[in-house]
Chain A
């Protein structure tokens, strides 16, 4: 079973994402900001990260840059999932090493499609 870390400061979004991803046979952990997500990755590197952009303490962009510099061979797939829906943010995220990008609002079909595209399904 693949392991996905859901990083979002909204408990509601984390709950919705968890439900969708558990339905796609993922094991789930949650983090409410980038700093807690880094700690979680130090404990166990996930196969996938579903990542919000705007969060307190450390935002999704800084998390991604830190994650991509972490030692170890495992490179988790990172799928942004954010209300930052303009082309400049998308390009910036991809340049920083994101694998896919979901523009909120989202549904199960979109999540499945994006996870499929990056080879997680």
Chain B
């Protein structure tokens, strides 16, 4: 791949998806886009770039973004965020939202669905405490390919053995040969939609909990700040933000700050549970009533 072609692809990926591709990731671009070329019968990377340059083939642009996006995920990945969800966040929200009896959760980079279904399984096992509640889990991802897999909810034997307790496999999956499908009940708890984190998101409404794990690491600092700002606008005043274990808000935003008691959780800086309340510059947000804009 020529320098000019690589520069073009870097600019395209950054502009369209926020992905920050450093010079040392050139091998990754050559490998993944090389596979894309072979799948589509394109005779090389320079031909691919030539086809992209006019900026008119949006489907091909999407295919390039999908090929360059890392979609690795697991059920109950890193475990702690899910323990915190069950033991800290949910009890807090069940008290705080007792009047409205609504709970809205957004998995902002849901990939092939394991994170959203892990949350749904936890909620299903607490069903007795959620009688009469309206609980919504929205899962979004930039890649329509991974969303298709998430919708099907079919996973290999390897995928269901990494992080998923066997009792949950027995309770919530149906076996079909060497594949395992998430039960219809659990799948029905999760709504899946395509969404680019750089684009407007107000149509999704407000959320009590936002999971956005292991995606910011692929962005440069200005893009991280932009994405965090956009997500923060969707968080209710006492909402909880969950980032990946290797991610931080330091140097990116002062609007979302670490929870003072629970590592890995973040809150709006004005929240009483925020570590550095008062240090941030809260957004001038216009709150829409919870659930008002996403039905249908």
A94 lies within 8 A of B167 (CB): yes
Besides the known contacts A113-B162, A114-B161, A117-B165, 4 further A-B residue pairs in the complex with CB atoms under 8 A apart: A90-B170, A94-B166, A109-B162, A113-B163
* A112 (CB) vs chain B CBs: closest residue: B162
Size of the B side of the interface (Cβ < 8 Å), in residues, is: 13
CB distance from B220 to the nearest CB of A (A): 30
- B157 within 8 A of partner (CB): yes
Contact with B along A97-121 (1 / 0, CB 8 A): 0001111001101100110110000
A106 lies within 8 A of B166 (CB): no
Which 10 residue pairs across A and B have the least CB separation, nearest first?
A: A101-B166, A110-B161, A87-B175, A113-B162, A117-B165, A103-B157, A100-B166, A113-B163, A109-B162, A91-B170
Q: State the total of A-B contacts with C-beta under 8 angstroms.
A: 31
- B138 within 8 A of partner (CB): no
CB distance from B231 to the nearest CB of A (A): 29
Query: How far is B164's CA from A113's CA once the two chains are assembled, in angstroms?
Result: 8
Contact with B along A53-93 (1 / 0, CB 8 A): 00000000000000000000000000000000111001100
B residues with CB within 8 A of A: 79, 157-158, 161-163, 165-167, 169-170, 175, 178
A94 lies within 8 A of B170 (CB): yes
Residues on A with beta carbons closer than 8 Å to the beta carbon of B175: 86-87
CB distance from A95 to the nearest CB of B (A): 10
Query: How far is B162's CA from A100's CA once the two chains are assembled, in angstroms?
Result: 12
Residues on B with beta carbons closer than 8 Å to the beta carbon of A107: 158
CB distance from B39 to the nearest CB of A (A): 27
* B158 (CB) vs chain A CBs: closest residue: A110
Query: How far is B162's CA from A90's CA once the two chains are assembled, in angstroms?
Result: 16
Query: How far is B177's CA from A87's CA once the two chains are assembled, in angstroms?
Result: 10
Of A86, A94, A102, A114, which is in contact with the most chain B CB atoms at under 10 Å from its CB?
A: A114
8 of the cross-chain contacts (CB-CB < 8 Å) are: A87-B170, A102-B161, A106-B161, A109-B162, A110-B158, A113-B163, A114-B166, A117-B165
Query: How far is B178's CA from A86's CA once the two chains are assembled, in angstroms?
Result: 9
Query: How far is B168's CA from A113's CA once the two chains are assembled, in angstroms?
Result: 14
CB distance from B174 to the nearest CB of A (A): 8
CB distance from B154 to the nearest CB of A (A): 15
Query: How far is B175's CA from A87's CA once the two chains are assembled, in angstroms?
Result: 7
A100 lies within 8 A of B165 (CB): yes
